[in-house]
């Protein structure tokens, strides 16, 4: 492993600029989160925390994951309906919606 040393200066409010070589090594880009792990030796390990594409973050929200688990449980229990076309599926949803409106 490269034993190069990179210097940066601690600025107001604890801000630092992570040297470009270190950002490249971490694969870090603007907006990414970095994790700092203090070691007993007094050293600190830095790693990139960005593991989810921001455009896909909605999928990993608690709400969406709860819905995914419910859908999986329904699938495993056989609580599914198959339709031969999109039109047929939309018609079935319209019927369900009309039934819900009638109950209100």
Q: In whole angstroms, what is the distance from residue 1 CA to residue 22 CA?
A: 13
Query: What's the Cα-to-Cα distance from 18 to each of 9, 33, 44, 90, 94, rounded to whole Å?
Result: 10, 12, 14, 53, 55
**Per-residue tens of pLDDT for the chain, all 104 residues:** 567 899 999 999 999 999 999 999 998 988 888 999 999 999 999 999 867 777 888 888 899 999 999 999 999 999 999 999 999 999 999 999 988 776 66
> Number of structural domains, the chain?
2
Provide the token pair at 27.
Answer: 């694969």
The answer to whether residue 31 is domain-embedded is yes
* End-to-end CA separation in angstroms for the chain: 68
Return d(Cα 36, Cα 18) in angstroms, integer.
13
Find the domain containing 40 and state its range: 12-48
pTM above 0.95, yes or no: no
How far apart CA 77 and CA 45 sit, in angstroms, is: 46
In CATH, what number is assigned to the domain containing residue 19?
2.10.260
């Amino acid at each position: 492993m490269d034993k190069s040393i990179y210097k940066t200066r601690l600025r107001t409010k604890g801000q630092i600029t992570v040297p470009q070589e270190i950002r490249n090594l971490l694969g870090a880009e603007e907006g990414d989160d970095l994790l700092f792990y203090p070691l007993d030796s007094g050293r600190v390990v830095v790693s990139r925390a960005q593991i989810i594409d921001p455009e896909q973050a909605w999928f990993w929200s608690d709400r969406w994951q709860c819905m995914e688990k419910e859908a999986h449980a329904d699938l495993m229990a056989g609580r599914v309906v198959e339709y031969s076309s999109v039109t047929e599926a939309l018609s079935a949803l319209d019927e369900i919606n009309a039934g819900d409106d009638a109950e209100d």
